[in-house]
Chains A and B, each alone.
Chain A
Amino acid sequence: MARKDEYTGGATAPETVVGATVKIEGDLQSDGDIKVDGLVTGKIKTSKNLFVGSMAKIEADVEAGNAVLAGIIKGDIKVKEHLLIEETGRIDGNISCGRLQIADGAHFTGSCTMPEPEKALNQPLPEEEE
């Protein structure tokens, strides 16, 4: 059975995989999915899915379409849609995301901004009854 912190994408490999022994310095950008198990300093950017394993250490600003974070991250995180912080996740930075899920046991230090969906903003406010 796959462990919770394992990538379970089936037969399709994430397009970029940073192994546990790899140290990346600079801007790691991809048009596809990224999986990080090693060390990254700089910036991570993908419009698709980002998976940060429990052994990963990241000192970088992160931008992704969706993200599952199980490692240590120091930096601001901007996720367009769904962000999941696993129980082993340690986040030190500000978060901006569409939907947020934090597992029991996860650490999160920083502020969180969740942009309102446009529909909700356009709806008229209910009139107050006297």
Chain B
Amino acid sequence: MNNVNTSNITKNKPILSDTVLIAIFGALWGFMEISLGAILKGIRIPMGGAILTAIACIIFLTGRNFTQRKGSIIMMGTIAAILKVFSVGTVIAGPFMAILIEALIGEVMISIFGINLFSYVFTSGILTLYTIVHPLISQGLIFGENIFKIYLETFKQIANLFNIDVSYLGWIIVLYAGIHFMLGAISGWLAFSLATRVKKDFIDLLHYRNYTL
């Protein structure tokens, strides 16, 4: 049974069509964004955005493993973003843009590096790193470039007040970014491992139920 070529799941159309797979993983991503997103926002957990992105990576990268269609991550992301827009009780503009940009970055990275462990780990790592940059981008769009001038000036004032050396800030940022990347890398590894295991279990299940691949 283990000799069954797992790529048959996607190559043989009757088993699972790309359209249904993309729709289902997009809906799962959207549901996760609405439910877990609201919980994480409510409890104000540190790195909540990175955690949400890491889980999103697990979902869409696992889904991407089952479909060969290019642009599938963008489609899943668009579904998730639209669902998020219509979810009640959230500030919509930021997360909407974040999901779309995440999907775009994910799609580009997977198209370049292909479906393998390295690309999954690297893509997820980059995406969780992006969560650090995203607030700056969205605030730049909403408030304009002057918001950066205010941030910079505020930082200088705080540094002067506490006599903090600028080089320390550099190390803090590197450490913070490193933690984000690690979180992403773990989720990428998990997505790859999950997809491999799910393929096996799903084939076993279909075989058990006498479905032909």
Q: Do A and B bind each other?
A: no
